[in-house]
Structure 1
Amino acid sequence: MPHLSSAIRTGSLLFLSGQLAFDDKGRISGDIEAQTALTLKHQFAVLAQHGLSPENVVKVGVWLTDRANFQRFDQTFARVFGAHRPTRSTVISQLALEGALVEIDLIASFEPLDS
């Protein structure tokens, strides 16, 4: 188990550590769409543990291993988030674990969002 917290609250904000697309057996597999959807599903479960939903997300940090995956990642991200459009940074980078194509962290607010 890595030396980190899955989420830490400070004031009205909840910071979620980066997540990868681990399946139920602890493996990472699948294409960029599958990994993006599963990673966000994991993050949304952490939000729910704190009484929050995807609409509470204000900032998303994304690491992709391949620039060629950006468009398919973005389409999946848009489908999963729906009408909600949090701020986002996306970086092309190596990831620590073999087979990981995307890592995503979140910042969410406990207060209502201004649009």
Structure 2
Amino acid sequence: MIQEIIEAKLHQAFQPEYLQVLNESYMHNVPAGSESHFKVVIVSPSFDGRRLIEQHRAVNQVLADELAGRVHALSIHTYTPEQWRQNSQAPDSPMCHGGGHKES
């Protein structure tokens, strides 16, 4: 499963205090059971002192193979441990304009 690969790679690269990888493909106009749209919420001390763009680039670099293949979209929410303690919640993802899934 792509979701498990994403989780393993992010754990190895960032040793996160919190990691959530959600398959949000069902929210898009794709066939049922697809693994093409993901949301990542990751909290890691390795993000301390790094600008948001640098944090996102680091995640994209770790997942470059998946993004070059079957993953069509990746929503990234990175936090330092201090930022996470202040809020501890990532924003909800909006439904795609096409919404739902295609019947296959």
Please classify the TM superposition score into its range, dividing by the shorter chain length: 0.3 to 0.5
- Structure number having the greater strand percentage: 1
Report the structure, 1 or 2, having the larger helix content: 2
